[in-house]
Amino acid sequence: MRTSSLLALAGTVAALSLTAAVPASADGGAVLTTGSAGGTAVAVGDVLSAPLAGGTSANLYSSATGTSGVSCKSSTFTATVADNPAAPGTATESVSGQTFDSSSCTSNVLGVTGVTSITVDNLPYTTSVASDGTLTVTPASGSTIQTTVKLRTLLGSITCVYQAPSLTGKADNTDNSIAFTNQQFTKVSGSSLCFASGYFTAKYAPVTDAGAPVFVN
């Protein structure tokens, strides 16, 4: 009996030790949390925001591999959480604002002397964030993602309008960032000084909810 009791006790201790060594599953927690991965669920209606990651710029270049176009050192976005289900799953947000500080923007396009403004049109957009970090931005039904770029040139002011059906990015818990890489826009109006295609690259970090970093689970 004593041997059996000791074996039973040893088995219980081993089971408890194994349980303690296994990380907690994300199942049952929300897709978006604050404080830490698997932390406090972000509430529906909360407003998330982020600036550009330190030392980076938002670029709209004429090709995926080139460096000719427009570059801005200051940009921010704001989005309201519309749905934040249990993980694994997909959270949704409504992007209500994305701004670019024109005083931080420059252009190296031949004939262009400066950037007057960059405006994101047709807001709000819907953003879906999956548990694997995949992020997709889509416009309202019947609309399109659109950016209007106003430039100063040697011949006067020009307006370039670019559109995209959707954008795909990636969320990363390492620095609470979202990143877009070479997302293609097509020119729909503007002078010959407006490049035919625009490739958008930017990294926003940290994404926060009332100052607390946001994690994707």
Round to whole Å and give the CA distance between 96 and 77: 8
Q: For 149-193, how does the pLDDT look when each residue is reduced to its tens digit (9 = 90+)?
A: 999 999 899 999 999 999 999 999 999 999 999 999 999 999 988
Evaluate if residue 42 carries a pLDDT over 70: yes
Q: Which residue has the tokens 């559109």?
A: 163
The domain spans of the chain are: 2-216
Evaluate if residue 15 carries a pLDDT over 50: no
Round to whole Å and give the CA distance between 71 and 144: 23
How does DSSP classify residue 139?
-
Q: For 18-29, how does the pLDDT look when each residue is reduced to its tens digit (9 = 90+)?
A: 333 323 334 459
Q: Are 91 and 131 in contact (CB under 8 A)?
A: no
Confidence of residue 148 (pLDDT cuts 50, 70, 90): very high
Evaluate if residue 46 carries a pLDDT over 50: yes
Which residues, 6+ apart, have CB-to-CB distance to 127 below 8 Å? 79, 92, 93, 94, 95, 135, 136, 137, 138
Q: For 97-124, how does the pLDDT look when each residue is reduced to its tens digit (9 = 90+)?
A: 999 999 999 999 989 999 999 999 999 9
